Amino acid sequence: MCGICGYVSEKSINIEEMNLSISHRGPDNQGSFQDSSLALGHTRLSILDLSDESNQPMVSRSGRYVIVYNGEIYNFRELKRELQAKGVVFEKESDTEVVLEGFEFWGVELFEKLNGMFSFAIYDRELNRIYIARDRFGVKPLYYYSANSDFIFGSEIKSILASKVVKEELEYQGLYEYLHFATTLGETTFYKNIKKLEPGYYLEFDLDKKSFKIEPYRLNYEVTASMDSLDEAIEKTRELFEASVKRQLVSDVPIGIFLSGGIDSTAITAYATKHYNGKVKTFSAGFDFDNGNNELESAKFIANHFGTEHHELHIKGSNTIDILDSINHHFDQPFGDAANIPLYLMSQELKGKEKVVLQGDGGDELFAGYHRYQRLHYYKTYKFISKFLFLFKNATPKDSPKYKGLRFLFALNQNDPSKEMAYILSQEMFDEDPADYFTKEVKNRLQSLNPFYRYEYFYNKFKELDPVNRALYTDMNIILPDLYFEKVDRATMANSLEVRVPFLDNELVDYAMSLPSKYKVKGKEKKYLLKRAFRGVVPDEILFAPKKGFGVPFQHWLRTSMRDFMLDTVRDSPLHNSKIEELMQEHIAKRKDNGYILWKLLNLSLWLKKTAISI
């Protein structure tokens, strides 16, 4: 796992400065390649082939291609054997060389063959072109900037800004999406002219013409339908998942597991202890802000059951203000999911001790692990009830436990059905458009935009599916790459820790997404198929236990330990006005729970303070 960056420009840009800005992603080695107006940079976290021979940038045997690469290709050995059978010669043991020589042999057709998480750039010295590509699920990030004949890219936005070429201007589309969803969506960022390369796409830049094109190398999640019976689906899901875990154990450094005590991480632990050549380490955490609502006891039971080398991390978040400031630096733009705090703290605890961990992200989105999927199973019933929303709207306080259910009804009550999923995932509702909290000028700019366009696109793309599978497909394309993997990559790579996700294996995902939703949700039971696939693998005490977990108590912090910090930070920012002051006072006095919007405004204020951007 690493960091990459590069540029094409006639301007004087220091590639070493760009490298330095993302050195946390790769503390083991930094390297660069320069050729006329082009430069490539790389920071290495050594996982496979620890020798210096696998440092990057790496040049192909022919000398034609140069690569900088971030990620892991889990099927690289199979691809290597295939290439060797065709006469390709290899000198190293790394997956980087397989990607490089594979590209020389197959060209862009290689991208679809890769099973793993990655972002990379390959320079073709003969055609004078750069190809940058990102994995099909968006596990690894890749950003680019293009303006005035300058093309700059990097694993993180800070590496692009380190070029000192980019004029920092606010992208209002990104701001409006963030206010609704706590992150930006698709290619959008908070910066004009800085874009995210979308999952499953590659960009080809022609250095002579100073132009580029972006193409999908795979149309993500094309709608297919498996004809397998439930029993066949159970057996095949089990086999594919075991194969995925086995593939992702490939490493030249020890591998650990984030063990939460739930079904997904327990299944990973079960198969890892079966196939790992050594003692599996597991890590579980309790925080001083979880009020004892953690899974330490469950995790200890699982660790004893499978005989792992178990470690409990007892983490204090008492310095949350300092942590938030550090996190804000690593995320490069406002990020409103407070779950990044415990993940950052866990990664910080392991910094310098571990390099690779596996965790269970993706299981809920593949196999319907959230309440909304179970509710969507009764779509017609809830759709009918939503017509009577007016009876509940004004009678339900915003801090009531019933409020989430009310938000769900509000989402289904949209006249435009393409906005249903957007509102289900938005933290705001009813007539509370977050644009209302800004000045008239900013409000007008925001309301001229459409923060839901990404959801509308995927709703239309998958509209022939039933409501549950449509939600699953949409979440795989939006919430997983744009929220969850954004959170995981920044929080862990800030501490030089690689996270692998066995549920996001090409073969497993393709199969799971082809199955009917009735296999995934049955009655009120979520993850119906997965629980049966793991019967006998995961202990019943875990498999059929009610889902636990805790929410980060940011609403409480904003009333107590972070109250003064919030007031000072927001009041000192260009955001502050009488409407936002009222939001803060209502929240502090417990007249209304405005925690979601205030947390986003606090992170936005911190970001504005550190940038040259005005709003």
Q: Supply the CATH number for residue 287's domain.
A: 3.40.50.620
Last residue of one domain, picked from the residues 543, 572, 587 = 543
Give a yes or no: residue 432 inside a domain. no
Residues 167 and 310 in one domain: no
The C-alpha atoms of residue 22 and residue 41 are separated, in whole angstroms, by: 10
Let me know whether 36 and 169 are in one domain. Answer: yes
- Whether 593 is in a domain gets the answer yes
Instruction: State whether 198 and 234 are in the same domain.
Output: no
Neighbours of 546 (CB within 10 A): 4
471 in a structural domain: no
pLDDT score of 390: 57
Rounded to 10 degrees, the C-alpha dihedral 159/328/552/349 comes to 70
Q: Is residue 380 part of a domain?
A: no
Q: What's the pLDDT score for residue 431?
A: 56
- Where residue 60 sits, what CATH number does that domain have? 3.60.20.10
43 with 163, same domain: the answer is yes
Residue 221's pLDDT is 53
* In a domain? residue 224: no
Q: Are residue 276 and residue 317 in the same domain, yes or no?
A: yes
Q: Residue 49: what residue type?
A: D
What's phi and psi for 303, nearest 5 deg? Answer: -60, -40
Alpha-carbon distances of 305 from 300, 312, 322, rounded to whole Å? 8, 16, 38
- Tell me the residue type at 292: G
Residue 564 counted as domain residue: yes
Tell me, yes or no, whether 528 and 609 share the same domain: no
Same domain, 184 and 284: no
What's the pLDDT tens digit per position in 428-464? 655 578 999 999 999 999 999 999 999 999 988 888 8
Instruction: Assess whether 163 and 202 both reside in one domain.
Output: yes
Residue 400 has pLDDT above 80, yes or no: no
Among the listed ranges 25-34, 174-183, 379-388, 606-615, which one has the minimum average pLDDT value? Answer: 379-388
Cα separation, 171 vs 173, in Å, equals: 5
Q: Which residue has the tokens 């793993």?
A: 116
Residue 222: the pLDDT is 57
Parent domain of 570 = 553-615
- Let me know: does 308 contact 358? Beta carbons within 8 Å: no
Query: Which residue, 487, 520, 543, sits at the end of a domain?
Result: 543
Angle at 420 between CA 135 and CA 225, to 5 degrees: 55
Please, what is the average pLDDT of the chain?
90
- Sheet bearing 211-216, strands edge to edge: 58-59, 65-73, 116-124, 129-134, 201-206, 211-216
Q: Residues 6 or more apart from 36 whose CB is under 8 A from it? A: none
| pLDDT over 70 at 473, yes or no | yes
Single residue among 157, 183, 216 that ends a domain in this structure: 216
- Tell me, rounded to whole angstroms, the distance of Cα 523 from its chain centroid: 30
Tell me, yes or no, whether 460 lies in a domain.
no
In the structure encoding, which two tokens stand for residue 223, read together?
């709608």
Block residue for tokens 């300092």: 322
- Are residues 205 and 286 both part of a single domain? no
Residue type, 253: V
Q: Which of 3-7, 278-282, 293-297 has the lowest mean pLDDT?
A: 293-297
**Total structural domains in the chain?**
3
**What is the pLDDT at residue 404?**
66
**Is the bond into 57 cis (omega within 30 degrees of 0)?**
yes
Q: Are residues 259 and 170 in the same domain?
A: no
The answer to whether 75 touches 35, Cβ cutoff 8 Å, is no
d(CA 487, CA 343): 8
**Same-domain pairing of 538 and 561:** no
User: What residues have CB less than 8 Å from 476, skipping those under 6 apart?
Assistant: 137, 220, 221, 365, 366, 509, 513
Instruction: Please report the beta strands in 289-409, taking only residues with DSSP state E, as ranges in sequence order.
Output: 309-315, 356-358
* Alpha helix segments (H runs only) across 182-295: 230-247, 263-275
Q: Give the span between the Cα atoms of 429 and 408, in whole angstroms.
A: 9
The answer on 118 and 54 residing in a single domain is: yes
- Closest by CA to 138, choosing from 371, 454, 517, is 454
If residue 528 lies in a helix (H) or strand (E), which one and from where to where?
helix 528-533
Let me know if residue 445 belongs to a domain.
no
Q: State the average pLDDT over residues 27-38.
A: 92
Q: Give the residue among 527, 503, 544, 530 at the shortest CA–CA distance from 377.
A: 527
Q: What is the pLDDT of residue 403?
A: 64
